[in-house]
Amino acid sequence: MSEAAARFEQACREWQMKFGLLDWSFRFIATEGDGTKDAEVDMDHDLREAIFTFYTEGEHVYTPERLAIHECLHVVLVELLEIAVVRAHLEHRDVEREEHRAIERLLNVLDGRP
């Protein structure tokens, strides 16, 4: 495992504790990828399992620690998003866009940025 992937996993585990996501099982994968994204998380809400993938290929714009916060915030928000999708009876791109906008705002607060 690369140093960056190890830092990503360690940071995810720290944020799991900080956000109180103790009812979730976190698993980690490090793989080359295709260079189009730095990391992602796939979740099984029923099993309460989050599988984080850190992509080693390409230039990372953000540190592994910031990527970890971003992906952990997806887990924090997943239930809210599922309710929004169920109530709307469809999954709309606007929901995903607004989730990312909220995550970026939270990341800026956590990083001490405006």
Phi, psi of 74 (to 5 degrees): -60, -40
Q: Which pLDDT value is given to residue 65?
A: 96
Q: Which pLDDT value is given to residue 14?
A: 95
Q: Which pLDDT value is given to residue 51?
A: 98
DSSP 3-state of 54: strand
Q: Which pLDDT value is given to residue 67?
A: 96
Top CATH class, 3-111: alpha beta
* Tens of pLDDT, residues 30-74: 999 888 899 999 999 889 999 999 999 888 889 999 999 999 999
Position 90 confidence tier, pLDDT thresholds 50, 70, 90: low
**β-pair partners for 14:** none
Q: Which pLDDT value is given to residue 35?
A: 84
Phi, psi of 23 (to 5 degrees): -85, 5
Q: Calculate what percentage of the chain has a pLDDT beyond 70.
A: 96
Q: Which pLDDT value is given to residue 72?
A: 96
Q: Average pLDDT, whole number, for the chain?
A: 89
Position 16 confidence tier, pLDDT thresholds 50, 70, 90: very high
The dihedral over CA atoms of 68, 69, 70, 74, expressed in degrees to the nearest 10, equals 100
Contact criterion met (CB below 8 Å) for 2 and 28: no
Look up residue 59 and give its amino acid: E
Q: Which pLDDT value is given to residue 104?
A: 86
**β-pair partners for 51:** 27, 42
